[in-house]
Amino acid sequence: MPLMNPLLQPVRSCANGLGLAWWARVETRSPNVTYWFGPFVRRRTLETQLPAFLADLSSEAPGDMHHELLRTRRGEPFTEPA
């Protein structure tokens, strides 16, 4: 999975604090878990990196997987029971 550029961390943190960051919320069934992937300043960057994240989750063989892209503020935890 591609790593996020550490030089952009302050920009991502600021965007997240203002609720302007892009996140992917991925929900799986069997196990029932919600995963958060982000933050990203640009939706296009999220869309580019999301397939690798989804492929990684798919390797764990969840029963079903659904995702949506959201512009929001998010804190930890990034994985939570659904």
Indicate whether 8 belongs to any domain: no
Indicate whether 11 belongs to any domain: no
User: What range does the domain containing 66 cover?
Assistant: 23-81
> How many CB atoms neighbour CB 5 within 10 A?
10
- pTM, 2 dp: 0.80
Per the structure, the count of domains in the chain is: 1
CA distances from 69 to 7, 11, 46, 80 (A): 23, 19, 8, 17
Please, what is the end-to-end C-alpha distance for the chain in angstroms?
A: 24
pLDDT digits (tens, 9 = 90+) for 1-41: 445 677 777 887 887 777 879 999 999 998 899 999 999 99
Q: Which two tokens stand for residue 58?
A: 């798919």
pLDDT digits (tens, 9 = 90+) for 26-81: 999 988 999 999 999 999 999 999 999 999 999 888 889 999 999 999 887 788 78
Indicate whether 9 belongs to any domain: no
Positive or negative, the Cα torsion across 58, 62, 64, 65?
Answer: negative
Indicate whether 77 belongs to any domain: yes
